[in-house]
């Protein structure tokens, strides 16, 4: 079997496994009224960044939920998340600064998959604008992509040069703001070990959830974890409490 055929088979198997996201999508809307009981926000702005090949449409359910919970929410308004280059990162940094300036407050950033990689990187560039970062199934441990989508990513963005490879080796370093990585051991798109960030002296944590990769943006347990993280008072960050009943669902 040729390498390209093997890669295509792995991708098809992953997508088949990820079909369970349909059930998570249904669970999101069937429990939507119950989510009104989630921790409420203080009105600060939250920016949502989509995953590879996705657009603001994918983060729509999350943005509407957290708007209802008391936040000012926004997508990135940059179309599909496809090309990774200095120009795109500059656009996101400008977006972050403008969003923070327009509201006169620090911004929380929620990034899904590749969007979480971007969230961490722009927070490193402008920590003065960022309240906290939450990534969902993001490959943050040294590479921008992970099997089985790495072939598609490289087909669009090309093979990284030496400078880019050197930069990717620093992706595992958390930004100097409270940073949460939410990941699933049943993720069929991004290997879960790639989403576990090193425990550092800064305010970092990992939260394991039972979810598919494609369902991370609608899974009710993920929504609760995000709501809990966003509701913390600014400057008073504490790790996610996994004791009590939470031990049943979160690791």
Q: What is the pLDDT of residues 144-195, one digit of tens each?
A: 454 556 666 665 655 666 666 666 667 778 999 999 999 999 998 888 988 9
Please give the share of the chain, as a percent, with pLDDT higher than 90.
64
Overall average pLDDT of the 115-131 stretch: 96
Model confidence at 247: pLDDT above 90: no
d(C-alpha 12, C-alpha 161), whole Å? 29
Reported as a pLDDT band with limits 50, 70 and 90, residue 75 is very high
Q: What is the pLDDT of residues 187-237, one digit of tens each?
A: 988 889 889 987 766 799 999 999 999 999 999 999 999 999 999 999 999
CB 96 within 8 A of CB 131: no
Q: What is the pLDDT of residues 48-68, one digit of tens each?
A: 999 988 999 999 999 999 999
The pLDDT of residue 68 is: 97
What are the backbone dihedrals phi and psi of residue 178, each rounded to the nearest 5 degrees, phi first? -55, 130
11-20, 113-122, 224-233: least confidently modelled range:
11-20
Reported as a pLDDT band with limits 50, 70 and 90, residue 10 is low
Model confidence at 23: pLDDT above 70: yes
The pLDDT of residue 242 is: 85
Task: Spell out the domains of the chain, with CATH numbers in brackets.
Answer: 3-249 (3.40.50.1820)
The pLDDT of residue 53 is: 85
Overall average pLDDT of the 16-26 stretch: 86
């Amino acid at each position: 079997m040729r390498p390209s055929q093997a890669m295509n088979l792995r991708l098809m198997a992953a997508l088949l496994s990820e079909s369970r996201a349909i059930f998570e999508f249904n669970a999101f809307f069937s429990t939507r009224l119950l989510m009104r009981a989630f921790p409420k926000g203080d009105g600060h702005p939250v920016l949502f960044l989509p995953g590879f090949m996705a657009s603001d449409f994918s983060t729509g359910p999350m943005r509407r939920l957290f708007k209802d919970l008391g936040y000012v929410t926004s997508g990135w308004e940059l179309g599909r998340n496809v090309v990774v280059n200095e120009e795109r990162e500059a656009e996101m940094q400008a977006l972050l600064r403008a969003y923070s300036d327009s509201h006169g407050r620090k911004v929380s950033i929620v990034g899904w998959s590749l969007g979480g990689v971007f969230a961490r990187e722009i927070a490193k560039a402008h920590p003065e604008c960022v309240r906290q970062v939450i990534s969902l199934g993001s490959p943050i441990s040294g590479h921008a992509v992970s099997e089985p989508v790495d072939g598609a990513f490289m087909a669009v963005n090309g093979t990284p040069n030496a400078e880019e490879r050197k930069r990717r080796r620093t992706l595992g370093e958390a930004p100097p703001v409270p940073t949460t990585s939410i990941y699933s051991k049943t993720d069929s798109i991004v290997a879960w070990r790639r989403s576990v960030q090193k425990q550092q002296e800064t305010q970092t944590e990992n939260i394991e959830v039972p979810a598919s990769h494609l369902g991370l943006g609608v899974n009710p347990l993920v929504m609760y974890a995000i709501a809990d993280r966003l509701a913390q008072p600014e400057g008073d960050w504490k790790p996610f409490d996994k004791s009590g009943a939470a031990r049943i669902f979160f690791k």
